[in-house]
Amino acid sequence: MKINEKGLQLIKDAEGLRLRAYDDGFGVLTIGYGYTKGVFEGMTITQEEAEELLIEDIRYFERRVTEVVKVPITSNQFSALVSFTFNLGETSLRLSTLLNKLNNGDYLRAADEFLRWNKVDGVAVEGLTRRREAERKLFLTEDETSKSDRERFEEIMNQKVIPYQQFPELVEELLREIENNNIN
């Protein structure tokens, strides 16, 4: 599975774009959309390079999410988890109650766990709070995968049950239709 456009935009909005290396506030030199590998003081990149580095990072975190999630998830749920892992790292996801609840099939409580990851040294940070709220919202938002699965389920559940007594009549009717239309 790959991150969708909503997830990609969530990461871009949360990380912001910086074309010159900067200290992220925790002593880590960062550039582009939160890229940290091999960044040095005074380093500059183009927007195109920033996009390439972002995709490189995202592909890595997509694989990490895929490795640890053991239940079916939608594209939006996957994308929210990739954003979370991009920001906090694979160990945070792997050891989280969020992942534990998700893998136990408790999707709603798993979504609520996003909101717990908004603190630095025990103090809530506004930017992290916004990001976690956005990830939770994306996680809970239906997308095409969830709609089609749900629609298929509803179609099956809404099918009329044929009473046993009518079954022979329906078989005869079907056989006549096949015979009249030369259906093989």
Distance CA 29, CA 167 (A): 72
Coil vs helix vs strand at 42? coil
Sign of the alpha-carbon dihedral angle for 46, 28, 2, 75: negative
Q: What is the DSSP code (8-state) at residue 115?
A: G
Coil vs helix vs strand at 14? helix
Distance CA 92, CA 97 (A): 10
* 15 classed as catalytic: yes
| Angstrom distances, CA of residue 153 to CA of 50, 72, 141, 145 | 42, 15, 18, 12
Coil vs helix vs strand at 35? strand
Strands in 13-88 per DSSP E = 18-23, 29-32
Residues 19, 2 contacting (CB under 8 angstroms): no
- Which position among 5, 15, 144, 154 bears the catalytic label? 15
Active site residues: 15
